[in-house]
Amino acid sequence: MRGRALLILSWSAALIVPAAVGAMLWHLCAEGGPVLGLELFFGDAPPFQAVLGQVPVWDGIWPAAAGTLSLLALTMALALFPGVGCGVYLACFAAPRAKRRLSVAIDLLAGVPSIVMGLFGFMLILLLRRLFAPEATTCLLLSAFCLALLVLPPLAITTQTVLEGLPGGLRLTGEALGLTPWQTARHLLLPAGGRGILGGVMLALGRAAEDTAVIMVTGAVANAGLPAGLTAKYEALPFFIFYISAQYIDSSDLRRGFGAALVLLILSGALLLCAHVLQRNLERKWKGERP
C-alpha cells in the first residue's frame, strides 16, 4: 500500500513540470501565435529596408530583436573565454589552495542577484563620469559587460564539472603520449567534454537573453531603434515585453507583448537546437566518425 502511494506521488510530482510547461506554451501560442508575422516585426515599414536600417520601425519588434541578438553576441564575446578558461584552470591546473579560494569567489559571484549586477553597472558609469569620462552613459557595451559577469560563473562551473567528470584514463593517455598538461587539455579533455561545455554555453546564452533587471538600468530603452554602436542605447525583447505589459493601451498592444514573448521563446529554442547539432558534430568529430 505504501509502495503504491509512493508511486502515485512520484508520478504526480513528475507530471507537474511538463504540465506547467505545456500550460505556459499553450497560453503563449494561443495569445501570441495569431500575431506572428512580418507586421509584428516591422509594422508598416518595408521589411527589406527595415532590416538594412534604411527606414525606422515604430510599430514592430525588429529593433528589439536586433538589439537582443547584438547583446547576446557581445556578452558571449566578453564572457566565453574567461568563463571557459577559468573552468579549465580549476579542473586541470589549479593547486588545491588556489582552487578553494577561486571557487569561493565564483560561488559569491554566482549568488549576486541580477538587479544588483545592474546597479553595479549603473554605479560604474557614475564613477567613470566623475573620474575619467564626463560624457559616459549607459549603453549596449555596459549591459553586455554586466551580463558577462552574470553568466561567467555558470560557464566556469559547468566547464570545471564536465572536465573533472571525464575518465581519468584520458589524462593517463596524454602522459603516456608525452603530452604536456596544456596539450592534454587542448587535444583530449576539451574535445571529450565539448558537448557538456557547449551545453553550458547555450544555458548562459539563454540566461543572458531573458534577463531584464540588468538591462533596464544599464542601457535598454523603449524606442532606440536599431543598435547604433557599442556606446549607444538599444532595445531588447525582454525589456520590450516588460514595457508593453506595463504600459499597454489596448488589446493589440498586449497581443504584441505576447508575440514578443513567443519570439523570445522561439529564439531560446533555436539556441538549444543549435547546441544539440553542434554537440553531435563535435562528438562525431572527436570519435572520428563521418557525418
Q: Is 124 exposed, middle or buried (0-12, 13-18, 19+ CB in 10 A)?
A: middle
Q: Residue 100 sits in a domain of what CATH number?
A: 1.10.3720.10
Range of the domain at 67: 62-287
Residue 23 belongs to some domain of the structure: no
Query: Is the distance from CB of 245 to CB of 155 less than 8 angstroms?
Result: no
**What mean pLDDT comes out for the span 56-73?**
89
Residue 240 belongs to some domain of the structure: yes
Residue 18 belongs to some domain of the structure: no
Question: Could you give the CA distance from residue 267 to residue 286 in angstroms, rounded to a whole number?
Answer: 28
3-class secondary structure, 223: coil
Q: What is the pLDDT of residues 105-146, one digit of tens each?
A: 998 888 888 889 999 999 998 888 888 878 888 899 999 999
Residue 20 belongs to some domain of the structure: no
For residue 155, give the nearest of 83, 76, 75, 205 by alpha carbon: 83
For residue 239, give the nearest of 221, 225, 253 by alpha carbon: 221
Residue 287 binned pLDDT confidence (cut-offs 50, 70, 90): low
Q: What is the pLDDT of residues 168-197, one digit of tens each?
A: 777 777 777 777 788 888 878 888 887 788
Residue 164 belongs to some domain of the structure: yes
Q: Grid coordinates standing for 83?
A: 568563463
pLDDT over threshold 70, residue 289: no
Domain count, the chain: 1
Q: How many residues does the chain have?
A: 291
pLDDT at 68: 92
Alpha-carbon torsion, ordered 97, 103, 105, 107, to 10 deg: -150
Question: Could you give the CA distance from residue 257 to residue 241 in angstroms, rounded to a whole number?
Answer: 5
Residue 145 belongs to some domain of the structure: yes
Residue 128 belongs to some domain of the structure: yes
Lowest mean pLDDT among 56-60, 115-119, 202-206, 275-279: 275-279
Looking up cell 569561493 gives: 104
